[in-house]
Structure 1
């Protein structure tokens, strides 16, 4: 009787069982992929038209035609990206709220309609730069539901044993956008000028990606208030948003993410001039950028594979520390092959940072309120990506070379590695406060 009484007290304190890799029904990595591979492919395709990729990768094609049509300077046109990426500061939390309030499926579908509709309205601009800025800001806000927050949650929720690799493959769609989006814009330009480019980009969202998502997104992926889980699924484990923000791990992940994004976000647009300053020709520097791009894809997939096997902070540090060393090497007079290898190491660090954010958030903070927590963590992404280019430009103008900016980038990468290592062991099952579904 005494033992039975103690058992009743224990179960009253823990009425729900945490869902972690150890407590899930046995399912192999192969089983996860056989069941969910269409969703991974859909995510990669859909992220080619997300609010974070479509404006960024199409603006380069549209700059010349808009300059010729309205007489805007190139700086004026490029400033539109500041509005679309800068509002990621609000778009991340908004996307997380939408997922919890309306569910993943409805958030994504609504976001695609909002993004595609706004892009279509861009074809009706009449010549005010503020029209351009407001429309690009609207892309970030109206398309927030179709952003990385929703898709990352969807993948993290359906993969446990192969979560890292699945995130790496799925989020490679952001890199695929660099190949697809400019070509769609060019085809639209040839069809109907700059208006045609916006129409074709909107059509890509509304006539291709939207139907694919209507057919491919699983039903029942709702928010907490909209029936997030089918009755047959166990409750998800994880911290509430308030508990996560009060804990040190949220801030360690956030600070590490910010440091890495400032470092690589400043390096990407400045790598070619930094290499030419080191003695390479323009053609050689551009060739190295090709290796850099391949390394981004490789970094996403390889790091995703290894974090499923080894402790993720150690894997991240094994990439970030060599990348910090590479920042110093780029400043030295080296051979072409050495520069290429250094750029590839930095490229791997660039590729892994976004996937690592989703993986660590799920592993250390849980899935119960993942969308809202990830949305808050995305603020660090937006801040880092937004501050990096002007900070690099200011440092170059101040010192007259890339020595100090590259040295600062190396320090930030090392600081990011230190923050990851400070996360400690993965939380045990009993450490997660369960959210009643």
Structure 2
């Protein structure tokens, strides 16, 4: 005689992981951006060595840096669209490989056009594909909560790359009396990150059967979007019809001009003009990297809680004031006021990214990663302009003073632009419009 039971056996459901997979993806993205940032810590160290070895003017070297910075931004929106088409892993792995090839090939250059090709074109395209549009894509796909915090963490990855590699690279350039080992180190580092990307990075939470972090419902993986270049241009045309885009792009161009284009490219040679050793100046930039991490993560936390427009206005205003004091702080040795400037500037370095990205999400919805890519392009165009014009100003005037003052005034204009961005987001995304 057999026994039967009316109740079906309970099905034991697997417990969700203690730590959501999204945080592991964010960690891989963090390491990946560090690898891409390694080469970006080198340009300011090589201006004087290349000038001495090849006799190239600082304006010529600055032109190659400007190509790199411009492509870093102009590639970003197309890279974001390519990630929608081919996935994160493929695009990121290819970008890191291009960076490694470009940086490694510089050791054989003998002419300025080769510097522009390797340092400007190849590394610019590769690093542009690894730009903050990549961070925006990861954040938008894997997180619905803590987006500001994650944005701050991924933005800080670039500063961490500078922190890790800048002192080592400056020691190689100065002690070894040759800049080539530094370039090879960067190439090897970028290439070493590729296996981690391919094995650990995933394109979408649905690939591993998970909901985005903080989501209440499962989000299916969207189908690949064909026509990446066409989509990037279409989104740009739609965004250009809105006022917030121009205000965000204009203020972010000034952000790039006062960070990557100015301090990252010209601070070391400017300090060297005042008798400061290259290693000491590079170490100060590394300190900027330390406090950049703190400031950017804190900015992400603030962005989740306060008005992004007012945060931007405060960041730009304080940055402009600090630049006005820099000419009187440069000296042969490091002194407390200079340390205060470095700490202050580090906290403000890319603290502008989380609120800028949040405003893009608020106004442009699903297309925000691509729109932010175009906003980032303006950031790099501003950086490229000052990287070139700063070198020309040094050749013409014999100092960088006029560049510091002009950049301070531009930051004041950026603060005003941030305040007039409208609070109310548009109801339609650019694609729907």
Normalization by structure 1: what TM-score? 0.71
1:49 maps to which residue? 35
Task: Give 1:272-287 correspondences, 5 Å limit.
Answer: 282=276, 286=281
Give the match for residue 155 of structure 1: 139
Match runs of 1:223-242 below 5 Å: 232-233=218-219, 240-242=235-237
Gaps of 5+ in 2: 1-16, 207-216, 223-233
The SS at the match of 2:144 is: coil
CA distance in 1, matches of 2:84, 2:136: 14
Query: What's the CA shift for 1:147?
Result: 3.2
What SS does the corresponding residue of 2:240 show, helix, strand or coil? helix
Alignment map for 1:77-156 (pairs within 5 Å): 80-122=64-106, 125=108, 127-136=110-119, 137-142=121-126, 144-156=128-140
1:262-277 maps to which residues of 2 (within 5 A)?
262-264=257-259, 265-268=261-264
Per the TM alignment, residue 353 of structure 1 is displaced from its structure 2 partner at its CA by: 2.8
1:36 aligns with 2:22: yes
TM-score by length of 2: 0.72
Give the 3 Å change call, closer, same or farther, for CA 90–323 of structure 1 in structure 2: closer
Shift of 1:421: 1.8
Q: CA deviation at 1:385?
A: 0.7
Residue of structure 1 aligned with 2:305, choices 294, 303, 309: 309
Are the aligned partners of 1:115 and 1:143 in contact in 2 as well (CA < 8 Å)?
A: yes
Match in the other structure for 2:416: 418
What residue number does 1:297 align with? 293
Contiguous gaps of at least 5 residues in structure 1: 1-30, 223-230
Q: Tell me, in whole angstroms, the C-alpha distance in 2 between the residues paired with 1:118 and 1:273.
A: 24
- Asked whether 1:258 is paired with 2:253, we answer yes
* Pair 1:32–1:419, CA change in 2 (3 A): farther
Q: By how many angstroms is 1:256 displaced?
A: 0.8
Find the aligned partners of 2:42 and 2:400 in 1 and give their Cα distance.
28
Residues 48 and 173 of structure 1 are in contact (CA less than 8 Å); yes or no, is this contact kept in structure 2? yes
Match of 1:14 in 2: none
> CA offsets per residue over residues 396-435 of structure 1, 9 Å max, x none?
777777665444333322221222222232527xx13486
Q: What's the C-alpha RMSD, in Å, of the aligned pairs?
A: 4.4
1:255 Cα deviation from its structure 2 partner: 0.7
Shift of 1:121: 4.5
The answer on whether the counterparts of 1:241 and 1:369 sit within 8 Å (CA) in structure 2 is no
Worse-matched range after superposition: 89-98 or 168-177: 89-98
- SS of 2:202's partner is coil
Q: 1:383 to 1:78 in 2, by over 3 A?
A: closer
- Of 403-412 and 254-263, more deviation after overlay is shown by 403-412
Q: C-alpha distance in 2, partners of 1:67/1:324?
A: 30
Give the Cα separation in 2 of the matches to 1:398 and 1:121.
Answer: 31
Q: How far apart, in 2, do the equivalents of 1:354 and 1:209 lie?
A: 24
